[in-house]
Structure 1
Amino acid sequence: MLLSSRGRRVGGRVAIGVVSTLVLAVTGYAWTQLSKLDAGIVTADVIPPSAQIDGEDAVPGEPLKVAQNILLVGIDARTDAYGNPLPQSVLDALHAGSGDDGGDTTDTMIVVHIPAGGAAATAISIPRDSYVDIADGFGKHKINSAYSRAKNASMSGLRAQGLSGAQLEVAANAAGARTAIRTVEKFTGLTINHYAAINLAGFDALSQAVGGVEVCLKEPVHDSYSGADFAAGPQTLSGAQALAFVRQRHGLQNGDLDRIARQQAFLSGMAKKVLNAGTFTDVSKLNSLVSAVQGAVVLDKGWDVLSFAQQLRGMTSGAIAFATIPVQSLSLATPSDGDAVKVDPAQVQQFVRTAISTPAVQASGDDTPGGVKPVAATTTRTPDSKQPATSAAAGCVN
């Protein structure tokens, strides 16, 4: 696989951001803090009205009435949620290079399907180098470039409208998000109802807010590019260490597939840590977590987080099933993008339909927003026997 030393390495940040938001929601505690979160979070107009689900009539404590699909992305950006450049001191602490090194690519892409009832969820990871048709006429490229291609293409028009600085950055980010969403919809066959993104510094703040997350490595690792330097076995990571754990891809036998396994393991550990560590009875921890989410996450404008939270009170950390789309090759030669991950959209869409229609995670029918018809039982492994398992349930990861 074609690798770069700086620009493509922030995978997994979104996992901690969104699981923090969801975990805050499902416990039934701290509704005052959730109200603060709903009022203070950054939003973007990226989901069309036809895909939005009205939650205003939701009754507190009642489950979701229709299935929903959430696209979670981790963006390799050197700006914050408000469009302001991150300080060089922050970038240095995170081994992130300079403000010019980020490519605004979505190096983590996870679709979370929550069925009607909201008692369980399926999180499906998409390798960042999957070679697909990019929406809005950008041609066939790696899926993680959909965001940056649309963002860059929108810049001249936005400048002509008089936008500059942070305002220009925020508006261009929204253009990038819309194309990324449409690309994922076309690729997976799902309608995306909600969108959540997290940037570079957000991962650091969120992981520290919960006091770190326990992970386990099969072997010791040392990677100068990401800053990963860990012993084998279980260990608790936060801040720059946590970011290094989820972004490392150099030195991993299966590249992005191994990194996805780490993302899923971290997401599972994050949910377990927050639910079991007394976070919601510790005022200081809870305030730190809410503040970190506010400064790190961008949500779609139509998402009523508080209503959504109240509908997920029955979910627990064990109610998230992890899966990774099937891939056919990790070294597909492309005309202009170097080596990419070869995928078959028809196979991927069949896999997605299967993954969200298991008895434990029952999908809604086609008559509900984002719904697809349920099919046979799911798997949390890629069906190609040449690919490694990427389920976090396997314990220690590479």
Structure 2
Amino acid sequence: MSDLQYQFAAPTKRPKRRGWLKITLISMLSVVGLVVAVGAGGYWYLTSTLSASGIDVYATDGSTFELPTPAEINGPINVLLIGSDTRAGQGTTEFGPVGNALADVIILLHVSEDRKNAVALSFPRDLMVPVPGCPNPDGGEAYGPKDLYQINATMNRGGPACTLLTVQALTGVTIPYLAMIDFKGVIAMSEAVGGVDVCVAEPINDKYTNLQLEAGEHTLIGAEALAFLRTRHGVGDGSDLSRISNQQVFLTSLVRKLKDEGALTNPFKTLRIGTAVLDNMTLSNSLTKLNVILGMAREVNDVDLDKITFLKLPVRDMTGEFAGRVALIDDRAQLLFDKIANDEPLVLAKANVGTGAVVSEEPAATQSPTETATEEPAATQSPTETATEEPAASTSATASEPALPEWVQGTNASVKSCSK
């Protein structure tokens, strides 16, 4: 294993938060309670569906990630979340013809070892990156590396495990967990939570996703929730970067709802949501046990809303044969990658949502940062990096957690934003 994997697995002492042993015991008792509550048939369905959804995923050294040990769960948690745009098996022509399955949404979720911070870093689907060699999930000849390849198309080369390998190679972060959801899974999830409240600053009329929303407050559920997450022609400048800002409107609201309702600490609520989407998810084998899922949900719940940060990867527009695609702004991206790899906090002095959204409400209590990050050298700013002039919101940085540079685009879960 790499040095980072050893660091990830090392047990540490955190006296102010419950130990993994206690969490495991609570989770196991919850599982027993579920067996009693839903009967052996329901328990068999959950465990068999989880097992069937599992796939092998790999570290960059070729080793396979297995079920986590207590020491690994006690360390930083890194999960790659993928939204697949596959039309296969979706049971409707509404989403378009069946074609190649692409990674429509790619988000790296990092939860710090001390559970004081979490970050969800979004990767644009049009990002051009180097791709490592990937095993063939069908057992055939492995796929060779590529010098430059569109990140969402890595699914075509070796399935979601190849997308995971690509993100690990790009970031230098070891990511033992993967969860992929398809269109029907998103619909089922929104129904299981009773809908997600979103704010729309300007009307959305997107003929590509059939989404029509008037300005104002909406509770999105079912196909409408999926269309909201997919839309890009209806928000901002029509780019995937605007779509990410719009998705953060939805995701921050979803996090607030899950936290407010205690869904992450109540095993029955957690598994009700999980059961609703399991048939439409692919998980790494490291995520295919009930006690692991329940325990991890409790760990994520420990993080305060204003320290759950949603960020965009800093990118620039490409030209020539790659016009319409984007590339990393290397030094800026590396700053974020290094902070995640080193388990350092990533917090914003204020929301900087970018095109596709606008800040609506500041959290009830804010504090000014007592220390800011050192000033970055001047850099040419492309249209993809132009920040919107929004009011300050959610100043959550402290002396021990200096704010990220002002060029970083994103928000946190305590800030209400609206699609625009």
Matches within 5 A, 1:113-128: 113-128=110-125
Deviation at 1:147, TM superposition (A): 1.3
**C-alpha deviation, 1:141, in angstroms:** 2.3
SS in 1 for 2:325: strand
Gap regions ≥5 residues in structure 2: 1-23, 36-42, 134-144, 355-375, 389-408
Moved more, 32-41 or 343-352: 32-41
1:259 aligns with 2:270: no
- Aligned residues, how many? 314
- CA-CA distance at 1:193 after TM superposition: 1.4
* Residue pairs, 1:210-225, within 5 angstroms: 210-225=193-208
Question: What's the CA shift string for 1:39-75, capped at 9, x where partnerless?
Answer: 52211112347473753447xxxx9421121111111
Structural mapping, 1:175-324, within 5 Å:
175-254=158-237, 255-277=239-261, 288-303=272-287, 304-316=289-301, 318=305, 319-324=307-312
Q: What does the per-residue CA deviation read over 1:315-360, in whole Å, with 9 as the maximum and x for residues that have no partner?
A: 437152111111223xx2353x551013234431212334x4xxxx
Cα gap change, 1:215 to 1:209, in 2 (>3 Å): same
Tell me how far apart the structure 2 counterparts of residues 192 and 75 of structure 1 sit (CA, whole Å).
19
Listed as ranges, the matches of 1:1-398 within 5 Å are 31=31, 32-33=33-34, 37=46, 39-41=48-50, 42-48=53-59, 50=63, 52=65, 55-57=68-70, 64-79=73-88, 85-88=89-92, 91-92=93-94, 96-98=95-97, 100=98, 102-136=99-133, 137-148=145-156, 150=157, 175-254=158-237, 255-277=239-261, 288-303=272-287, 304-316=289-301, 318=305, 319-329=307-317, 332-335=318-321, 338-354=323-339, 356=340, 371-372=341-342, 374=344, 381=352, 386-388=386-388, 389-391=409-411, 393=415, 395-398=417-420
Q: TM-score, normalised by structure 2?
A: 0.65
**Percent of residue pairs bearing the same amino acid type:** 27
1:38, 1:305 within 8 Å by CA — same for their partners in 2? yes
Q: Deviations over 1:176-196 (max 9, x none)?
A: 222211211122221211111
State the distance in 1 between where 2:82 and 2:165 align: 13
CA–CA separation in structure 2 for the residues paired with 1:313 and 1:131: 35
> Structure 1: 5+ residue runs without aligned partners?
1-24, 80-84, 151-174, 357-370
- The amino acid of 1:306's aligned partner reads N
Instruction: For residues 291-336 of structure 1, give each alpha carbon's deviation from its aligned partner in whole angstroms, at most 9, with x where no partner exists.
Output: 212112211012345235325525437152111111223xx2353x
Indicate if the aligned counterparts of 1:135 and 1:146 stay in contact, CA closer than 8 A. Answer: no
The one-letter code matched in structure 1 to 2:91 is P
CA distance in 2, matches of 1:351, 1:328: 16
Check the 8 A contact 2:204/2:235 in 1, yes or no: no
Q: If you compute each CA radius of gyration, which structure gives the higher value, 1 or 2? A: 2
Query: 2:121 touches 2:312 (CA, 8 Å); kept in 1?
Result: yes
CA RMSD of aligned residues (A): 3.4
Local SS of the residue matching 1:396: strand
State how far apart, in whole Å, the 2-side matches of 1:377 and 1:328 are: 22
Paired residues of 1:120 and 1:320 also in contact (CA < 8 A): yes
Mapped to 2, the partners of 1:186 and 1:285 lie a distance apart of 35
Helix, strand or coil for the counterpart of 1:395?
strand
After superposition, the Cα gap between the structure-2 partners of 1:146 and 1:345, relative to the gap in structure 1 and judged at 3 Å, is farther
* Offset at residue 231 of structure 1 (A): 0.9
